[in-house]
Chains A and B, each alone.
Chain A
Amino acid sequence: MARAFLCLLALGISSVGWTQPPARDTSSDTGTGSISGRITDATGHPLSRVEVRAGPNANQVEGRSALTGADGRYEIARLPAGTYTIVALKANYVRTSWGEPRPEGPGKRIPLADGQRLTGIDVRMQRTGAISGRIVDEFGEPVTDVSVQANRYQYIQGTRRLLPSGRGSGTNDLGEFRIYGLTPGQYYVSATLRNFGPTADDNADRSGYAPTFYPGTANVAEAQRMTIAPGQTIAGLTLNLLPVQTAKITGTVVDVEGRPAATGFVNMMPKTMATFMNFGGPIRPDGQFTITGVPPGEYTVRAMGAPNAGVQDGAVADVTVAGGDVSGLQLMMLRPSTIRGRIAFTSSSNGSAPPKPSSLDLGAIREWALGQPVRNAAKINDDGTFEIQLMAGHVQLRVAPTGGGNGPNAPANWRLNRVIYGNADVGDSGIDVPPNGGVEDVVVEMTNHGSEAVGTVTDAAGAVVRDAFVIVFAQDQVRWTVQGRWLAVSRPGLDDKFHARLLPGDYFAVAMTDVEPNAWTDTDFLALAREHATRFSIADGETKTVDLPVTPAPVF
């Protein structure tokens, strides 16, 4: 094969047309303090164009930030007095907080006084890891166009789920892949041969490949786990795609008027995390659809009509594929159901007026396939009445925190108190929304009554711990629901105390320094955390002091 070398790094071309001005933060927030430092790679080499964020909540996109220059230096100026964490971000480097106890752990809090010029807040960044290798078929030949992902367990909606992480890769003509951007952690590599295009395959031959985990299994329990250390590359993997018999799924979609649905799409998603494929095809004018190449597994089949005035008819069915074809699947489209009701406010605790109902962000939440929550937002009128259009099913009503500032009547100070339906508080149990209609007269009650647990966290030696998460949760297990109203997570502030705003009730509280994000949404985690928890009760309007020792995070 011919091989040409075209190394043509155009020599002598005058350098850069436009140069970056010195890094400086341009936010208009006034203050007289500043934080500066230098960002380097693992070898001490300065890193340019690193975004450095300062903030009480450094996750916020719109925090105060600056970019490093070619010398790796940054300065975030005009900061008001407060407590800050510093986070450094750059593509293909591990997100690093200053003073973090472990990779991607919480950063150390930095107190900053008025007029203080804090220097030397230096951060050393590690490159993200990579996994590379080759995908082969049962004959040992390379396979092109295979989607390869590195998956890790993460907490989503209260359960640990296997989710793709980093940059996945499609295999090239040599079957090669390289997944990069992996933060330190434990991964399972999976390979899926996607089927492109909506045309059904005519073949009687049903041979295909299962979504396969390294080294060659469809079962994640048999998969080989890989641990990526900071900056590590694991190369030279060979993953053998697992041959399976695939199925052809055929069926009919009927529209809301009982006629064959003439337009729209059918989509098929795996229900479990074992597969990552997504199948689909158009509905033919006679209402029929065909999906081919489906490996064994459990799926949710969804038919979607053409959206009309923002409303989409749909149908859902569960299908189990166990090798053989599935035919005669009947899907009947339904109009979206509605939840109607109004927003009410308790008497104000401080005399301030409640916020405008339409400034609230109310939604109905349910879990969909692959652990992705689906949220249908409410349309709220100025008189407080609302309407939510959604597919039938079991949902919970929740009011999302809005960025409403800190004023006394800001929406942020008002929280969901109760969801009243049929004379009961269904805030935790949720609402069953029936098909072809819906539910009426739901009252979403908001309150600004402030009960607050306040306290300090101390270690075994009695020293105050600032870098801790305080998790406060209801004693009643029934209240451990996803999106729960009875859960508060807080970190100690400038006063070295945590402040957890709560509804009146009986609670457990624990403090931990090293906890996975969102672990507290998992009931198993809460059950273990309870063992070391401090009990307390809080009344309406009460401010309670709850001092806590640091406890180890539960290990599964």
Chain B
Amino acid sequence: MLSTLALAAALLLGPQQIRPPQQQQQTAPPEGTATIRGHVFAGDTGQPLRKAQVRIFAGEIRENRLATTDANGAYEFTGVRPGRYTISASKGSYVTTSYGQQRPTDAPKPLEILDRQTVERLDLSLPRGGVIAGRVVDEFGEPMSEISVAAQRYQYVQGRRTLVPTGRMSSTNDLGEFRVFGVPPGQYYLTATWRQTGINVNGQGNPQDRTAYPLTYFPGTTNAGEAQRITIAAGQDVNDVQMMLRPIKAARITGTAIGSDGKPMTPAMVLVSQTSGFGFTMMPGGQVKPDGTFTVTNVAPGEYTLRVQRMGPAAGEPEFASARLVVAGDDISDVHLIAAPPSVGTGRIIVDPAAAQQLPTPIVLTAFPTVFDGVPPPPPVRVADDLTFEIKSSPGRMRLSFGGFGQSPRGWTIKSVRVNATDVTDSGIEFKANENISGIEVELTNRLTSVSGLVTNGRGDQATDYAAVVFAQDKERWTPNSRYLATGRPDQDGRFKISGLPPGDYYIVAVDRLEPGQNGDPEFLDSVRSRAASFSLMDGETKTVDLKLTSAQP
């Protein structure tokens, strides 16, 4: 469907030699010795793009750097450490494009950078994004402001095809107008979302208003199955799209929030997050009153997580309570929330004594909920010098990761997390209200596995465009965000490389096409399993597996 849209995102070896920008003296030079430089161009006009953001990212060595193009569209990274990098450029209304992408939905290809290497003319051409513009009106034909309009397309999320917003979401203005821009070519469903809980322009709730507007798909249906598809070609503008929203009765949620001391929970905030649809939207629901009661108005039908949290320094030890609610139109009263202080998990780090000397300092652990429903994760914790730690968490299943937000030590990973001799690395630690957990064991390792190889096509030639899909032989491990699923793309030598898989028995297959996230779909994995090769990885093992290219279609 998108084959006509071959985007010139590949390495463009332009004939003209352009002088790199002048590099000033850095205060603290990075430790690497390689250089990457190039230009960013507008795909439609071929003109250089100023102030485009270029990002180089190497997951394995935790390198993430950013540069902005100069007046000639030129960028440069110096002091680059060796590693496998993806390189992407973005600018405003253009479609973000990575090195090695033939289509905007392709996964980027890595570029293997060696010590002292200078990569010249790594040029990226950004296609102009498409535009969907129009107007949203209410049942009287009056313009509606503050409506969130998004172009959504089906993508694999956690192994399932889900509608995901693409391009820029737009909020309607006082004339009801919206303009969704930066839309990559593809097929879209346009959605209009009304902001809930009666927060109007005056910032005050409207306690009498019982009108809500449900999530609506273009041209005006609440049923995704009846939604009309809009096809956007490269750089296409679709204008004058009109959507009408029709009201439904809004529900009101009332209840009480009691602290763990049995007293009304105050000062406290009510936070409402909608868990139906893609992701979640969090809305402030207001304050808990001094008598412990709360009211949330103007709630449209949907699934919600209601969370009450003590706020402010006077609140002392933080406390939370949450409840999941399904709103179907009727009011919900008597929601009784009883807060609990965060549960405390204590434990220690376990590491091979031989490697203990190389442990990074400080060690930081971060807990993430296995199902994110708007409840904020606990802050990262610092492991004490005696390798013990303490994590305070609200109730829920928490998976541990090594490092703080957006930062992780190089060359190390969590090998296993155990509670009472049970492996909870993948399932998560279950924190229960008013129950502390002791004896959490987090085993760290710097013996990372690696599997790499080359792929040949049907004619026996080396393939340069494919996706190597690795998945555990054990179907039980084909779960969302599993550590046992990975993909690799060819670098400039045609080689794929996947690092950090847990030891175990795997299948591997090279397919000609893979949609983003498709390797998390158990059906897909089942369909390619018969054509896959088998291999095993031991602790810290490096393996080479050469493959034959197969079609993604069975």
In the complex, the answer to whether A282 meets B218 with C-beta atoms within 8 Å is: no
In the complex the two chains form, what is the Cα distance from A171 to B162 in whole Å? 29
A207 to B72, CA, bound (A): 13
Does A147 belong to the interface (CB within 8 Å)?
no
Interface contact B55-A199, CB-CB below 8 Å: yes
A-B contacts counted at CB < 8 A amount to 223
User: Quick one: given A172-B181, A180-B173, A327-B27, are A17 and B237 in contact (CB under 8 Å)?
Assistant: no
A282 touches B406 (CB 8 A): yes
**Chain B residues near A376 (CB-CB < 8 A):** 312-314
Nearest Cβ in chain B — how far from A232, in angstroms? 12
Does A20 have its Cβ within 8 Å of any Cβ on chain B?
A: yes
B504 within 8 A of A: no
A422 at the interface (CB under 8 A from B): no
Nearest opposing residue in chain B for A167, CB measure: B201
Tell me which of A17, A67, A91, A95 contacts B246 (CB under 8 A).
A17
> B314 touching A51 by the CB < 8 A rule?
no
A8 contacts B362, C-beta separation under 8 Å:
no
- When the two chains form their complex, are residues B208 and A310 in contact, meaning their CB atoms are under 8 A apart? no
Q: In the complex the two chains form, is A262's CB within 8 Å of B404's CB? A: yes
Knowing A9-B220, A128-B174, A201-B66, say if A173 contacts B290 (CB, 8 Å).
Answer: no
Q: A145-B92, A403-B290 are in contact. Are A178 and B379 (CB under 8 A)?
A: no
Please report whether the interface of chain A is mostly helix, strand, loop or mixed according to DSSP: loop
B247 touches A16 (CB 8 A): yes
**A 504-527 contacts with B by CB, 8 A:** none
Interface of chain A residues 439 through 489 with chain B (CB within 8 A): none
The one of A65, A137, A169, A197 in contact with B208, judged by C-beta atoms closer than 8 angstroms, is A65
Whether B27 pairs with A325 at a CB distance below 8 angstroms is yes
Interface residues of B in 157-201 (CB under 8 A from A): 168, 170, 173-175, 177, 179, 181-182, 200-201
Interface residues of A in 170-184 (CB under 8 A from B): 172-173, 176, 178, 180-181
* Residue in A3, A259, A282 whose CB lies within 8 Å of B405: A282
**How far in angstroms is the closest Cβ of chain B from A93?**
9
Residues of B within 8 A of A118 (CB): none
- Given A144-B92, A173-B92, A309-B318, A203–B68 Cβ distance below 8 Å? yes
Complex Cα–Cα for A359 and B23 (A) = 63
B279 at the binding interface (Cβ < 8 Å): no
Asked whether, in the complex, the Cβ of B219 is within 8 Å of the Cβ of A92, the reply is: no
Of the candidates A5, A203, A363, the one having the most CB atoms from chain B within 10 angstroms of its own CB is A203
Closest chain A residue, CB of each to CB of B56: A202
User: If the complex has contacts A8-B219, A51-B206, A378-B314, are A1 and B235 also in contact, measured as CB distance less than 8 A?
Assistant: yes
CB-CB nearest in chain A for B91: A144
CB of B205 closer than 8 Å to a CB of A: yes
Is the C-beta of A48 less than 8 angstroms from some C-beta in chain B? yes
Contact status of A377 and B174, CB under 8 A, knowing A8-B218, A51-B208, A306-B381 = no
Tell yes or no: A110 within 8 A of B by CB: no
Instruction: Report how far A1 CA is from B125 CA in the complex, Å.
Output: 19
CA distance A543 to B128 in the complex (A): 74
Contact yes or no, A18 B313, CB < 8 A: no
- Give the residues in chain B near A311, CB-CB below 8 Å: 313
A307–B379 touching, CB < 8 Å: yes
Known A263-B404, A282-B406, A402-B290; contact A306-B379, beta-carbon cutoff 8 A: yes
Q: How far is A205 from B364 in the complex, measured between Cα atoms in Å? A: 34
Smallest distance from the beta carbon of B241 to chain A beta carbons, Å? Answer: 5
Interface membership of chain A positions 138-157, coded 1 if the CB is closer than 8 angstroms to chain B and 0 otherwise: 01000111000000000000
A91-B145, A306-B379 given; A388·B313 CB < 8 A: yes
Enumerate chain A residues within 8 angstroms of B67, measured Cβ to Cβ.
201-203
Q: Does A379 contact B (CB under 8 A)?
A: yes
Q: List A residues 1-60 near B (Cβ within 8 Å).
A: 1-10, 13, 15-18, 20-21, 23, 25-26, 48-49, 51
Cα distance A90–B139 in the bound complex, in angstroms:
17
The answer, yes or no, to whether B244 is at the interface (CB within 8 Å) is yes
Cβ of B65 < 8 Å from any Cβ of A? yes
**Shortest beta-carbon distance from A417 to chain B in Å:** 22
> Are A204 and B318 also in contact (CB < 8 A) when A3-B237, A145-B92, A173-B181 are?
no
Q: Which residues of A contact B27 (CB under 8 A)?
A: 250, 325, 327
The contact of A5 among B21, B129, B239, by CB within 8 Å, is: B239
In contact, A379 and B404 (Cβ under 8 angstroms): no
Complex CA distance for A13 and B139, rounded to whole angstroms: 11
Task: Answer whether A180 and B174 are a contact pair too, CB < 8 Å, given A203-B68, A285-B364.
Answer: yes
Q: Given known contacts A51-B208, A62-B207, A325-B27, is B379 in contact with A91 (CB within 8 Å)?
A: no
Nearest chain A CB to B32 CB, angstrom units: 12
Beyond A202-B77, A204-B22, A306-B379, is A16–B139 a contact (Cβ under 8 Å)? yes
Instruction: Name the CB-closest residue of A to B222.
Output: A17
Partner of B242, one of A9, A25, A144: A9
Whole-angstrom CA separation of A25 from B208 in the bound complex: 8
Chain B 323-359 interface residues, beta-carbon cutoff 8 Å to A: none
Tell me if B432 counts as interface (CB < 8 A to partner A). no
Question: Does A17 contact B247, Cβ atoms closer than 8 Å?
Answer: yes
**Residue among A62, A65, A144, A376 with max Cβ neighbours from chain B (10 Å):** A144
Structural contact, A205 and B249, CB atoms closer than 8 A = no
B201: A residues at CB distance < 8 A: 91-92, 128, 167, 181
Q: Is A61 an interface residue (CB 8 A)?
A: yes
Cβ of B146 within 8 Å of any chain A Cβ, yes or no, is yes
Which of A9, A336, A376, A402 has its CB near the most chain B CB atoms (within 10 A)? A9
Contacts of A145 in B (CB 8 A): 92
Asked if B8 is at the interface of the complex by the 8 Å CB criterion, the answer is: no
Give bound CA distance, A7 to B218, whole Å.
11
Quick check: A263 and B382 within 8 Å, CB to CB? yes
* A181 CA / B146 CA spacing, docked (Å): 11
- Closest B residue to A132 using CB positions: B173
Shortest CB–CB separation between residue A103 and chain B, in angstroms?
15
**In this complex, what residue of B is CB-closest to A310?**
B318
Closest Cβ of chain A: how far from B69's Cβ, in Å? Answer: 9
Is the beta-carbon distance between A20 and B211 smaller than 8 angstroms?
yes
Whether B473 sits at the interface, judged by CB under 8 Å, is: no
Show 5 A/B contacts (Cβ-Cβ < 8 Å), sorted by A.
A4-B236, A9-B219, A65-B207, A181-B145, A377-B314
Give 8 closest A-B pairs by Cβ, nearest first: A144-B92, A173-B93, A377-B314, A306-B379, A180-B174, A173-B181, A204-B24, A8-B219
| Chain A contact residues, CB within 8 Å of chain B | 1-10, 13, 15-18, 20-21, 23, 25-26, 48-49, 51, 61-62, 65-67, 70, 89-92, 95, 127-128, 130, 137, 139, 143-145, 167, 169, 172-173, 176, 178, 180-181, 197-205, 207, 250, 259-260, 262-263, 282, 284-285, 306-311, 325, 327, 336, 359, 363, 376-379, 388-390, 402-403
Contacts A20-B210, A91-B146 known; 18 new A-B pairs at CB < 8 A: A2-B233, A3-B239, A8-B220, A9-B219, A15-B246, A23-B208, A49-B209, A92-B145, A130-B173, A137-B50, A144-B93, A173-B92, A202-B67, A203-B67, A309-B317, A310-B318, A311-B313, A379-B313
